[in-house]
Chain A
């Protein structure tokens, strides 16, 4: 690990983040006070920006490959700087957004250690958001975005579930299952984005990524390890969790995770400009294989809990057969096992948006039949959410020919918040009262 430097934001911005934390992460003080109890021997958490020293100095991909990386926004072509600003804004939005989601159901955890892991992960996401604000504050972005640092920081800190840049961060959690599946699936997309941004042609962005990636490794474990233990509980017949519940949550989050990579046909501009090394489809393909391994490993953990007398080699052979041929093995049916939904299932962004593809890849002619299929394969609680209602409305409009898929895609899921619910969104407003117009999502 190379050397890192640490910096704090200027006091006004630092204080704004602390104020935000007091509202959206009220258990932060508990975490700090109990750090040694849950994470003995681990370095203490610190709210600051880390920058890695000794990173590559030359642009690593694209049309300017081999040229020196940019140290300042002013050194970049305007269109590249514009795209980069959108990436930073989107990244910041996801970091702060995920905390707001996790907070909703953090208290519902059944296991104290799992809860502490999620709480630590939330604190680290706060630091990641802080890191992005540091990038915005440290350079002069006004010629690119038309907004001052104050305005950009305020806009980001004022976002709430329902107004974040990416769809996955606008969905309310319903139970602690969401917290865990989100870590396993959505944070994994975060890992891909951070890994890609690690080669950014803008040095400060690239140097911000290594520490975030280190922390992200723990966030993925925060999702995967509880899932591995839950499938064992399910195998033992626990009334607390079933594979069906986990499957429905995979169905809820996998489509949103795939969409976070951006449209499958896009991303070449990011590569051309040296901002990311992979196009959207390529990154999504890798992610798809990775979550396939997560599901396979969960099934292995389940099978061995169901059939503890099996030797390792027999279990591996049995699982391979169940996953490829179906059927059953010593009372374990293939249908019990977890599976990834089809890649085009329940999609509302990207190439397969609104195609009415079912869990197994089957297609539907009637929108009513398709929506019925979704209601059977998604978590019950999710069906009652604003997010699903929005999808139903757009899907119906597309199916009836009232809207083209590309028009429906542009409709951002919006939660209807009532006034006064969130005093904090005003608490950070020290400059502007109006929403600031900034560039669109970073998907590219």
Chain B
């Protein structure tokens, strides 16, 4: 079996052709087949800002994706803020640096657009995700998520 390295990865902008790959990765990681949900989400990001979301490709197959965009005016944040909202990596390609490649590409794209702050929310019960973002240079912020159950 050939050795695959991070340098074999191609990170590029999201397209509608990635839908099946994204649905497949989400099914592997979340154990739910939810094509409708991902069709809505991908359409949302494509119509807002197709260059704001990225996928990682290996030999023509999508092995990871990161969805987000640039917004301002939310939660009292008036400055243009890059938001990383969804991340998925094919477990079969774990350890290759797919997430890191996606994150670095995303941050670079935000930087090129003049964005000074990038934000995301991390589930505290998922330390590996927290560690992932910390390795990308993220740190805890003043903002605290609140929730009220109805």
Contact = CB atoms under 8 A, between A and B. Distances in A.
A221 B48 contact: no
Interface size class of A (residues with CB under 8 A): 20 to 34
Contact of B16 (A39, A221, A312): A221
B50 to A, nearest CB: 4
Interface stretch (A224-232, A325-333, A345-353, A392-400): A224-232
B19 A224 contact: yes
B47 A221 contact: yes
B16 A225 contact: yes
Contact of B47 (A42, A224, A229, A304): A42
A218 interface: yes
A263 B28 CA distance: 44
Interface in B8-43: 13-17, 19-20, 24, 27-28, 33, 35-36, 39, 42-43
Interface string B46-58: 1111111000000
A293 interface: yes
Contact of A217 (B20, B46, B109): B46
B125 interface: no
B20 A229 contact: no
B15 A41 contact: no
Given A228-B35, A312-B28, A218 B20 contact: no
Q: Which of A41, A225, A300 has the most CB of B within 10 A?
A: A225
Interface string A303-319: 01000000010000000
Contact of A2 (B20, B50, B112): B112
Interface in B65-106: 71
B113 interface: yes
Interface size class of B (residues with CB under 8 A): 20 to 34
Contacts of A224: 16-17, 19
A166 interface: no
B147 to A, nearest CB: 21
Give the dominant DSSP class at A's interface.
helix
A43 B20 CA distance: 27
B78 to A, nearest CB: 16
A127 to B, nearest CB: 14
Contact of B33 (A220, A293, A312): A312
A2 B36 CA distance: 32
A243 interface: no
Interface in A191-241: 214, 217-218, 220-221, 224-225, 228-229
B19 A1 contact: no
Q: Which of B14, B16, B48 has the most CB of A within 10 A?
A: B16
A412 interface: no
B46 A229 contact: no
Given A1-B113, A41-B71, A293-B17, A225 B50 contact: no
B19 A228 contact: yes
A300 B35 CA distance: 11
B54 to A, nearest CB: 13
A224 B20 CA distance: 11
Contacts of B15: 217, 220
A1 B112 contact: yes
Nearest to B52: A1
Given A214-B49, A217-B13, A221-B47, 10 more contacts: A1-B51, A1-B52, A43-B48, A221-B16, A221-B42, A221-B43, A224-B19, A225-B42, A294-B17, A312-B27
Interface of B: 13-17, 19-20, 24, 27-28, 33, 35-36, 39, 42-43, 46-52, 71, 109, 112-113
12 contacts: A42-B48, A214-B50, A214-B51, A217-B50, A220-B46, A221-B47, A224-B17, A228-B19, A228-B35, A229-B39, A297-B19, A312-B28
